[in-house]
Structures are given as C-alpha cells and as structure tokens.
Chains A and B, each alone.
Chain A
Amino acid sequence: MNVDDPAMLDILRRCMVARIATLSCNGRPSINPLYFVCQRGRIWLGTSEWTLAARDVQADSRVSVLFEVEQHMCSHRVLRISGQASVRTEQKVQRSYALRVARKYLLTPGGIGNYLAHLRQFPSMHQYHAQSAEKGRACVIEVIPQTAEWLEL
C-alpha cells in the first residue's frame, strides 16, 4: 500500500467519519460509522470494548474501512482500506487518541457550534458516556492498512 499517495493522504485528512466493516466469530457482517485519526501509518477508530465493532475485531482481525469527504459527497469518490485490526485499551493510547480527537472534532468552529447548539443535552450526553463506561472501557481499534483502493459510485 502506498501511504505516500497525496490523494490518499488528503482524503484521510479531510474525511471525518469512517465506516468500518467487521465479521463476528460466526462470520456475520457488521458495519459502523466511527470517528478516527491517523497515527504513524495506522488508523485509530474510537469506540468501547463492549461494542459490536470491538468484539468483532477481537474475534476476527480482518477489517474493511471506507473513507470519503463528507463536504464533497457529490464527488462519489471513496477510499477503501483493508487491513488487520486490534483492540487497544492502554492508557497511553487512550490519551493520545483523546487529544487528537479533541483537535479534529471538538476544538473546531463546527464542533464548538454543534456543542453550543445542544447545551441543554449536555447532561444526557454525559449520562450516555457514563453508561457506556459502566459497560466497558473505551478503546481504540487500530488498523494496520494492507491494501487501499479507490472506488467510484
């Protein structure tokens, strides 16, 4: 996989929500939209250990991930990366992921505007995150890319 391809780097930089396809231990498919960041040639997708995506990855490490630029949906150009994934729960990884996610999603005009527009839902959001933490630890699905393809719709 050519990780130096400028077009590929550009879409990974501009895409905001990746869609990761996984298989369960019984081979049942699933696909979920997740926030992500790129880290030294690897892709980190944030979720929690109890989610289907994380449980699937622990059962079968093969994944297929779609990336496209949401602001230019009319272009219909999608990057598909296939690779091997693992679930990482180390504190160091969590901290690094949280910092990068804050920079990418929260500390931006769009991110701040979205939160300000929903201030009344903050208690629900905190409770929602607390519920998730009760079910299991936050984790990062780390994808080591093996192949990348451009898809056109």
Chain B
Amino acid sequence: MKQVTRNIDPASARDLLERVPRACLCFACDHGPQAQPVVLVWHDGRYLVGIPQKADRKPEPDQEVVLLIDEGVHFFDLRALYIRGQVKQASAPREALAADCTWVEVVPLKTVAWDYGTLREVRDER
C-alpha cells in the first residue's frame, strides 16, 4: 500500500533554522491558546527563542509549547518545521544580544517537517 506524503526529514529543512523566514510560538494560557511571533536563534542544535519583553503573556518554565517556522505562499512553496517541546530558561545568545527579549530554550519532544514541493508516493507504514 502506498500513499502520497508532504512530510520530509527535518534535517532537509535545516535552512529554515538558518534563515528563519518567520517563527512563532504557541502555548496555553488562562485565556486560551496564545500565538506569539518570536525571534529564533538556532545555535549548536539548540532552539533559542526570544519573546519580546512587552509580550503580555509568556510560557512558564517546563510548559509545553509548539514552535513553528514556516515559509511560502503558493501551494508547492509551502514548507514548515513544527517542533513540539518544553520551555527551559535560557540566556540571550550572542547573536541576538540587542534584541529586547526574554530568552527561553525549546527542548524538542517531537519534530515534524513538511514541504509541498516534494509531494511524493511512499510506502504506507500504518
């Protein structure tokens, strides 16, 4: 049995971590889900996330979050890295000392990547 997939090896989407076209963080708070645009620095394999100081809500240490880095507008250009993980305190990376942010590290539990430009048939392993 075969199926068509958009999923790719997250390593193939490494350029998204180097260029960071846009990144956002999602977490739960009292008011429901919170989507927050963030600064992302990928350093030594660590996902360092800068949340603007003036953000009204921030995730608590150890809280579950999803970090999304995505790009593209047209169907075959849509690509993304979706990282579910836990937040840990972190210090500002040297690359982003100027940014007025609170820094946290997202420690990944599960990472998924997709690229609609690579739609292809694969063996269905369900």
Chain A residues in the interface with B (C-beta under 8 A): 16-17, 19-23, 27-33, 60, 62-66, 68, 70, 73, 76, 78, 80, 82, 105, 110-111, 113-115, 117-118, 121, 124-125, 127-128, 131, 151-153
Contact = CB atoms under 8 A, between A and B. Distances in A.
Nearest to A129: B4
A63 B35 CA distance: 9
B74 A19 contact: no
Given A33-B80, A151-B52, A114 B32 contact: no
Contacts of B121: 124, 127
Contact of B65 (A29, A63, A131): A29
Nearest to A126: B4
Given A23-B28, A73-B22, A31 B35 contact: yes
Contact of B74 (A65, A82, A105, A128): A105
Nearest to B120: A124
Contacts of A21: 26, 33-35
27 contacts: A16-B73, A19-B24, A23-B28, A27-B28, A28-B28, A28-B64, A29-B28, A29-B65, A29-B66, A30-B26, A30-B66, A32-B82, A62-B32, A63-B33, A64-B26, A64-B33, A66-B35, A66-B37, A80-B35, A82-B31, A114-B75, A118-B75, A121-B117, A131-B4, A151-B36, A151-B37, A153-B52
B61 interface: no
Contact of B33 (A62, A118, A125, A153): A62
A58 B24 CA distance: 23
Contacts of A65: 35
B8 interface: no
B75 A125 contact: yes
A72 to B, nearest CB: 12
Given A21-B26, A105-B74, A118-B76, A31 B68 contact: yes
Nearest to A63: B33
Contacts of A78: 37
B35 to A, nearest CB: 4
A28 B26 CA distance: 10
Contact of B39 (A70, A128, A153): A153
B37 A23 contact: no
B4 A17 contact: no
Contact of A73 (B21, B33, B38): B21
